[in-house]
Structure 1
Amino acid sequence: MSDIEIRRAAESDLPDIVAMLADDPLGATRESPDDLTPYRAAYETLASDPHQHLMVAVRAGRTVGTLQLTVVPGLSRRGATRSIIEGVRVHADERGSGLGTQLVEWAVDRSRDLGCHLVQLTSDATRVDAHRFYERLGFEASHLGFKRQL
């Protein structure tokens, strides 16, 4: 996959990123690719925060994957810094190509380079295939997660 470039997302990548976020049963109910206004505001916040890494994978000038890596300093675990991988998406045409693995491994390597001691992620309970994917990459289902809508 040497023809893949992983780089920081630009605002011009937002239509492709949002389309990938919306391209599954869960995303289809919570994303709005026809109105990029809230995504542009969120992008500005992400782009100005050095702890946020919104990334895209590009092949031949086409955005084909994305993820967000957040670095979180902390006191627990003897002051360990951790990272959180979120929003991993691969364009439908690229699924099964190894791109998802390449994106996640990029995030793990970048986390290590940034001094993180732990990489974590969450995956919706209904995404059974994603759970198997993350387990193959060495992640363990070690915690029960909770969310509260505000």
Structure 2
Amino acid sequence: MTGEIAFRRAKQADVSTIVAMLADDPLGSGRENISEPLAEGYFKAFAAIDADPNQLLAVMTEDGRTVGTLQLTFIAGLSRQGALRGQIEAVRVIWDRQGQRLGQKLIEWAVEQCRKRGCRVVQLTTDRSRHDAHRFYERLGFKQSHLGYKIDL
């Protein structure tokens, strides 16, 4: 049973909770460092995201408790006749609330934010090993359309 769900722009005070959610799976635990005090890089990244009008780091709360997060990036481009794109990243729901449709609410909210901004495409990436996430996104109407590549620097 869920309480009152709300969405808002993340605040600096949310950074520790967000990082903990990012670290709370096998992939994230190898990438993130939740040792206190948190690394300064997290706060520098938060400040850059918060200052950029094309970025939205959001949290989902339930009865005031942060239970989910994601980052939206609005990307202008010439492709698709100058279409604005919404890029969803770092989607997480806190461990004790997973499997209760909060992720669906989070994604639906993000898609609506993209509509309000005038995006014509909403896209996301997910790690190849996250098979449950692939099924989740497909259930919500996303279609696998690209093959992605990265290089670590």
**TM-score, length basis structure 1:** 0.97
Would you say 1:79 and 2:82 are equivalent positions? yes
For these two proteins, the number of residue pairs brought into alignment is: 150
SS in structure 2 opposite 1:53? strand
CA RMSD of aligned residues (A): 0.9
SS in structure 1 opposite 2:15? helix
Contact 1:51 1:72 in 2 (8 A): yes
Contact 2:3 2:63 in 1 (8 A): no
The aligned residue for residue 6 of structure 1 is 7
Cα distance in structure 1, aligned partners of 2:110 and 2:137: 13
Query: 5+ residue gaps in structure 2?
Result: none
Q: Structure 1 residue runs of 4+, over 3 Å off?
A: none
Cα distance in structure 1, aligned partners of 2:111 and 2:148: 21
Moved more, 126-135 or 36-45: 36-45
Q: What is the aligned-residue identity percentage?
A: 55
**TM-score, length basis structure 2:** 0.96
Cα distance in structure 1, aligned partners of 2:103 and 2:71: 13
The aligned residue for residue 34 of structure 2 is 33
Amino acid paired to 2:74: V
Task: Give how far 1:14 is off.
Answer: 0.6
Contact 1:46 1:54 in 2 (8 A): yes
Task: Give how far 1:60 is off.
Answer: 2.0
* Aligned residue runs from structure 1 range 1-150, under 5 A: 3-34=4-35, 35-150=38-153
Q: Deviations over 1:60-96 (max 9, x none)?
A: 2211100000000000010101010000000011101
Task: Give how far 1:97 is off.
Answer: 1.1
Cα distance in structure 1, aligned partners of 2:150 and 2:22: 19
Contact 1:54 1:68 in 2 (8 A): yes
Cα distance in structure 2, aligned partners of 1:49 and 1:33: 25
Moved more, 66-75 or 35-44: 35-44
Amino acid paired to 2:33: S
Residues 58, 36 of structure 1: alpha-carbon distance in 2 compared, 3 angstrom cutoff: farther
Cα distance in structure 2, aligned partners of 1:2 and 1:110: 22
Query: 5+ residue gaps in structure 1?
Result: none
Cα distance in structure 1, aligned partners of 2:3 and 2:114: 21
